Structure 1
Amino acid sequence: MAATVGRLLRISAKLAAGGLKVTSGGLKVTAAGQHAGLLQRSCFSTASSRWSPAVTQPAPAFKATAVHDGEFKEMSLEDFKGKYLVLFFYPLDFTFVCPTEIISFSDKASEFHDINCEVVGVSVDSHFAHLAWINTPRKTGGLGHIHIPLLGLFVIDPHGVVRHMSVNDLPVGRCVEETLRLVKAFQFVETHGEVCPASWTPDSPTIKPTPEGSKEYFETVN
């Protein structure tokens, strides 16, 4: 999965040798781990007909080396069982748009943790490059101290199933608030069995997935 999504993001297929960054109270940055499982699953391509099967399917297992609080540590998908996981792809360390996104995720790290969700990032760099970027001050283009690790984005539920995926071109950053909203929406549906309409927020009405429930919703909002 890492390599195929990487190609969609116009980065090298060598993403298989790249890294993951994971948050758990602090930054974990993964690198050159065993991504064979990610590569074997080629369910992603530029053809839209190949994208849809990824959603609702189990995410492929992965293992990698992470940087957590300045230390290298092994991590895997198994470490996140029972939690929501935002899988966050970015092209390279020391680039331009990426640090703005990563810092935004870091600033919202506690809000993701509050809803039992971790954030994982993937890039082509080694864990040594990740550590150097973390140790570079923000004023000079580095990350400084951040609370998450670190352009496709996937939301994986506590059962390891992909619930959302999106990919955008490199010059435009992603909206962290929207990612947080999506995780909350999937959690609401799983807990309450009702569905979330467009632009749903925790304060918005939801829809019972029946003809009667739909009618009741539209009578309420119109």
Structure 2
Amino acid sequence: MSLINTTVKPFKAQAFHNGKFVEVSDASLKGKWSVIIFMPAAFTFNCPTEVEDAAKHYAEFQKANAEVYIVTTDTHFSHKVWHETSQAVGQAQFPLVGDPTHQLTRAFDVHIEEAGLALR
């Protein structure tokens, strides 16, 4: 689903990015293109390949003045371990955003209530 030129509701979330924990918010998205990729959860079968694909094309996103954000309903702590233990996810140079409260998945209408996970 494309949300081009829509206003993002205010939010704050913790992410793992370039070896440290950082805050990502609606202000982080302002002034450039943002590619937000939702995934059900870290450590699932398909998700690492999707992160790896985004990582391989990251330079192209940056040339287009776009930042990539991977969002799952896990915590930023899980994302740190995921980044450190998965060769595919370890290639990510963009924020891995935790959404354990489901604030983002609900705001972007990709939340699966019954499972507590995000749609792809």
TM-score (norm 1): 0.40
Q: Distance in 1 between matches of 2:60 and 2:70?
A: 17
RMSD: 2.6
In 2, are the aligned partners of 1:135 and 1:145 still within 8 Å (CA)? no
Asked if 2 retains the 8 angstrom alpha-carbon contact of 1:105 and 1:148, the reply is no
Q: Which has the larger radius of gyration?
A: 1
More helix by share: 1
Q: 1:133 aligns with which of 76, 82, 89?
A: 82
CA distance in 2, matches of 1:86, 1:143: 17
Partner amino acid for 2:59?
A: S
1:107 counterpart (32, 46, 56) = 56
Report the counterpart of residue 21 of structure 1 in structure 2: none
Question: Corresponding residue for 1:96?
Answer: 45
How far does residue 131 in structure 1 lie from its aligned partner after superposition?
A: 0.4
Distance 1:60 1:126, change over 3 A: same
Unaligned runs of 5+ in 2: 97-107, 111-119
d(CA) in 2 for partners of 1:77 and 1:57?
12
Distance in 2 (alpha carbons) for counterparts of 1:133 and 1:66: 12
Q: Which is strand-richer, 1 or 2?
A: 2
What's the counterpart of residue 33 of structure 2? Answer: 84
1:67 aligns with 2:13: no
Instruction: Using CA pairs under 8 Å that are at least 6 residues apart, name the structure with larger relative contact order, 1 or 2.
Output: 2
What TM-score, normalized to structure 2?
0.70
Of the three residues 94, 98, 105, the one matched with 1:148 is 94
SS in 1 for 2:85: coil
In structure 1, how many angstroms separate the alpha carbons of the residues matched to 2:22 and 2:95? 13
Whole-Å separation in 2 of the counterparts to 1:105 and 1:88: 9
CA drift at 1:148? 2.4
For residue 56 of structure 1, report the CA deviation from its aligned partner: 5.0
SS at match of 1:57: coil
- Aligned runs of 1:153-172 on 2, under 5 Å? none
